[in-house]
A = this chain, B = another copy of it.
Amino acid sequence: METGQNQERRRNKATIVDVAKKAGVAISTVSHVLNHTAPISEETRKRVQQAILDLDYTPNMLARNLRQKYSNVIGVIVPDIENEFYANVASGIFRRADLEQDTVFLVDSGYSLEKEKMQVESLVKRQVDGLIFLGGSKDEELIDWAHKQNVAVVLGDRRYRNYCSVESDNFKAMRDLVLWVYGLGFRKIGYVSESLDMTNLQDRYNGLREGFHQCSLAIDEQWILNDSWLKLEKVDAAKSLMNQMVRRIKAENMPEIFLTSSDMIAIGIMDALIQNGYRVPEDISVVGFDDIRLVQYYNPPVTTIRQQCRKMGESCYQMLRGVLQGHIQDQHIVLETELICRQSVRL
């Protein structure tokens, strides 16, 4: 932004001084009627109110917050707002925050640590009271830094140290899923996931292993895909990766079912499978994760693990308020998931 220009902006905005002058009262009186911070005679209040209206005065929060040491603003950092899951969680935060008097500012880091750093610094420098980190990875230093700068932090869909957090029971979800498909008779089980650099992904993978273990199944590495590419362009990456796998593995050696860490990945896989002549679920079954809107309309509708996105957002916000008020710390909420049976699994 060009400075010369901007210095012109806001030049003629009315300040509290103007209001005081116009109303013929002291500055502090205006402040008091504004904040109901002292009893003011009906008569002067009226005059002040009128002056405010006349001048179209709007208090400058920067100045106010500079004094007050708190801003009633919280920041939310998401890796990718186009991802329906994050959009849903964010929505939960917004809806919940609307009920209070907080304002929440959302920023999108685009899965880039560098950008995230800029965003978080920007938020912290503007004295937000708290920060909610949704997803994200390898940014632990940043979280610690924010915390050291005295801003309250809450983690959503992830976990780190003893920062307050709320997440799904990823381990249990995936373990139980394995047990379920095992019960259905599946033995050749594949798994496709983003690289395991996020705790939630790691948990799911661990749950998977535990499930395998409980069923005395050995993991066949050739059926396991963990690719970091899957994080950014889930559908396309999954499609391409699955195409490779189909080329690499003969039909009789393919898994009977693919479990995944994300609905988008499941979609990509099914696209590839179908293109390669496999029928879903007759030849190969697929299970998603998240239950985003897309999967219920896919053909076939996708069996998936539903996360309580909205609830997650609401809990994050509630929790943040708790730590802000000082009566919560080191709390970790775990949300139950739910298996949604549709038609992508052969029963």
Q: Are A9 and B150 in contact (CB under 8 A)?
A: yes
Cβ of A324 < 8 Å from any Cβ of B? yes
With A91-B82, A321-B1, A324-B2 in contact, do A61 and B12 touch (Cβ < 8 Å)?
no
Cβ of A281 < 8 Å from any Cβ of B? no
Which among A116-124, A160-168, A215-223 touches the partner chain?
A: A116-124
Cβ proximity bits A292-310 to B, threshold 8 Å, 1 near / 0 not: 0110011100000000000
Residues in B whose Cβ lies below 8 Å from that of A10: 69-70, 127, 149-150
Residues in B whose Cβ lies below 8 Å from that of A58: 121, 124-125, 149
Q: Are A81 and B72 in contact (CB under 8 A)?
A: no
Cα distance, A53 to B333, chains bound together (Å): 35
Q: Are B108 and A105 in contact (CB under 8 A)?
A: no
Which among A43-51, A94-102, A247-255 touches the partner chain?
A: A94-102
Q: Give the residues from 1 to 34 in chain A that come closer than 8 angstroms, CB to CB, to chain B.
A: 1-3, 5-7, 9-13
Cβ of A39 < 8 Å from any Cβ of B? no
- The one of B1, B69, B324 that contacts A324, using a Cβ cutoff of 8 Å: B1
- The one of B9, B71, B129 that contacts A70, using a Cβ cutoff of 8 Å: B9
Q: Are B62 and A126 in contact (CB under 8 A)?
A: yes
Residues in B whose Cβ lies below 8 Å from that of A9: 69-70, 129, 150-152
Cβ proximity bits A69-107 to B, threshold 8 Å, 1 near / 0 not: 111110000001110100110110011001000111111
- Interface centre among A61, A68, A94, A324, by most chain B C-beta atoms within 10 angstroms, is A94
Cα distance, A88 to B87, chains bound together (Å): 11
Cβ of A59 < 8 Å from any Cβ of B? yes
Cβ of A341 < 8 Å from any Cβ of B? no
Q: Are A84 and B81 in contact (CB under 8 A)?
A: no
Q: Are A122 and B103 in contact (CB under 8 A)?
A: yes
* CB closest residue in chain B, given A271: B297
Cβ of A54 < 8 Å from any Cβ of B? no
A26 to chain B, nearest CB (A): 22
Residues in B whose Cβ lies below 8 Å from that of A68: 6-7
- 14 examples of A-B residue contacts, CB within 8 angstroms: A1-B321, A2-B325, A6-B324, A7-B70, A9-B69, A10-B70, A60-B125, A62-B66, A80-B91, A81-B106, A103-B118, A106-B106, A294-B294, A297-B299
Given contacts A2-B324, A9-B151, A10-B69, 14 further A-B contacts (CB under 8 A): A1-B325, A3-B70, A7-B70, A9-B69, A10-B127, A58-B121, A58-B149, A60-B66, A66-B66, A82-B87, A90-B108, A94-B110, A98-B110, A105-B106
Q: Which 3 A-B pairs have the closest CB atoms?
A: A299-B299, A6-B70, A105-B105
